[in-house]
Structure 1
């Protein structure tokens, strides 16, 4: 009997932890049918059913539970060992790619500079990642880590330093009635459309950036959904709606045409460094330390 392929094991682990073919596929950026195909191949190699699937639920068989209990720590150990050996062979060199959302604020840029100073043999490259897809570049391996807006609820991602925790601001046109206010209560968001985020971002994350109800339960009208921060600010300028933004972004993009008004009654916004659990390297850990040293870490 041939040995399982690594993709079959990854698919099984994702399914065992999500207990949902769709979510397992999203986690690995594969289709549901591909997850099913990989599972069938693994079951064929093993010679027994690992998962019971009905129209209502997915659950592990006793054989599947046994495989998961033994496979997860072994799989993690293999990935960690390969990463450590690779790092030892290369030293802290090579290329470290880190993404950012919206704006590369001062803390982020100081961390990049500190990392470059501490590790001159490692080329640190930065890249903007779409507002509409905060975690996709990390999952696809396009960047080694990324600074993203919280919250982050993805078991495949490690959440490193959390920083820039500040109250949210509401971006409005300079002609908007709130533009001359010192602040806005969250309940007042129900008075006009709120620009949302389109694309591949998880629903929980999109709702955190553009809630559909106030804390008191009032419905917030939905405005256009955008894929980039620049697109959202352009719609704000033309009066198509307001947009909730973190404070560092407001500081960076302040202009005469857009006014940023502090919002009370909503959870603070924050930024976090994230990376894939199975792709952690010495470079990742080095950049996380650099960021923690220069940023006001809150979590």
Structure 2
């Protein structure tokens, strides 16, 4: 008769701490203590504490940092290369065990940006019809932080504006593209127009999402040049859609929104003028690569079932765009 599994000894003086390993991996990607803290939802000083604790366990420095620069030591580079696949495998193993124990039950947190429109609600209804034992929580994702909630585990899956090229995130099915409008103050000289061409945006500062959204994503939501290469003035940066609309109403600039969001957020001091010449807005379903569960897969299947009915077929011009604006 076999006994209980043998206990492994602790790593270092205080045992293995997964939070320290997670902190090191994020820092090795960001090479910035502030951005690492933002991604982990902890303070910059806490990042330093976790790193010092890990270095103490190992007995050597993993990161060289000065007031101007953060970089991995040679040992840190070697440690990251060995740790990353092992850490991802460990998280995936734990999540698979949890999923097997629960099945498509429990709670699924679904994030959205801008507006949880009719199509998103159709997906949620279809998901509930197939899996009545699983409840959903609907969470708004800040405009300035599209990926943070997925990385922190606040949401399990999110409907986000494209593009999404993050190495730790998985892009699933996409929704149909939507035409763009530009939100303007009713007092703006262009507010009386029935449509604008993208080249006319040279006359209008564009309000854009703030950090920690990455530059490539922010540039798609608020282009810095027209299709012909002419510069578009930069307007204020904002954290939320409501901040953007408030600054729009105050005449501080314009904001690109897709038609469904414009219709949902209509207000008396803002008009929405259609814009031609830019790629249409597209949203996609995104989850964290290390946190794919039966619930996430079931939600993705519900998206495919709904979009197969309501979206244009593959190859249709409206499905060709890989970029998106607020929708």
TM-score, length-normalised on structure 1?
0.84
Gaps of 5+ in 1: none
- Provide, for residues 200-249 of structure 1, a one-character-per-residue CA deviation record: whole Å limited to 9, x for no partner: 54454444333444452334252x55544345445545655432102331
Q: 1:62 aligns with which of 41, 62, 74?
A: 74
- Decide whether aligned partners of structure 1 residues 267 and 56 sit closer, same or farther in structure 2, where only a CA change above 3 A counts: farther
From 170, 173, 194, the counterpart of 2:182: 170
TM superposition shift of 1:253 = 4.1
- Structure-1 residue corresponding to 2:95: 83
Offset at 1:180?
A: 4.7
Is 1:212–1:221's contact at 8 Å kept on the other side of the alignment? yes
Q: Equivalents in 2 of 1:180, 1:232: separation in Å? A: 20
* Count of aligned residue pairs for this structure pair: 298
**TM-score computed with the length of structure 2 as normaliser:** 0.77
1:183 equivalenced with 2:203 (yes/no): no
Match of 1:158 in 2: 170
1:97-246 to structure 2, matched below 5 A, reads: 97-173=109-185, 176-197=188-209, 201-215=213-227, 216-220=229-233, 222=235, 225-233=237-245, 236=248, 241-246=253-258
Q: Distance between the aligned counterparts of 1:110 and 1:31, measured in 2? A: 39
Q: 1:10 aligns with which of 3, 14, 22?
A: 22
Residues in 2 aligned to 1:182 and 1:217: alpha-carbon distance in whole angstroms:
22
C-alpha contact 1:169 1:245 (8 A) present in aligned 2: yes
Gaps of 5+ in 2: 1-11, 323-327
Distance 1:151 1:67, change over 3 A: same
- Any idea what SS the aligned residue of 2:231 has? coil
Q: Pick closer, same or farther for the CA change 1:246–1:52 going to 2, 3 Å.
A: same
Q: Secondary structure at the match of 1:124?
A: strand
| 72-81 or 24-33: bigger deviation | 24-33
Aligned 8 A contact 1:212 1:220 in 2? yes
Contact 2:206–2:253 (CA under 8 A) maintained in structure 1: yes
* In 1: Cα distance, 2:191 partner to 2:34 partner: 43
SS class of match (2:175): strand
Contact 2:207–2:222 (CA<8 Å) still a contact in 1?
Answer: yes
Other-structure match for 2:40: 28
Instruction: Kindly report structure 1 stretches of 4+ aligned residues shifted beyond 6 Å.
Output: none
Residues 211 and 220, structure 1, Cα contact 8 Å, conserved in 2:
no
CA contact (8 A) 1:167 1:246 kept: yes
Deviation at residue 277 of structure 1 after TM alignment: 3.2
| Contact 1:190/1:221, CA 8 A, preserved across alignment | no
- SS of the equivalent of 2:56 reads helix
Counterpart-to-counterpart distance in 2, 1:99 and 1:273: 10
Residue 27 of structure 1 contacts residue 156 of structure 1 at CA under 8 Å; is this kept in 2?
no
CA deviation after TM superposition for structure 1 residue 38, in Å: 1.7
Q: 1:93, 1:123 within 8 Å by CA — same for their partners in 2?
A: yes
* 8 Å Cα contact 1:214-1:220 kept in structure 2: no
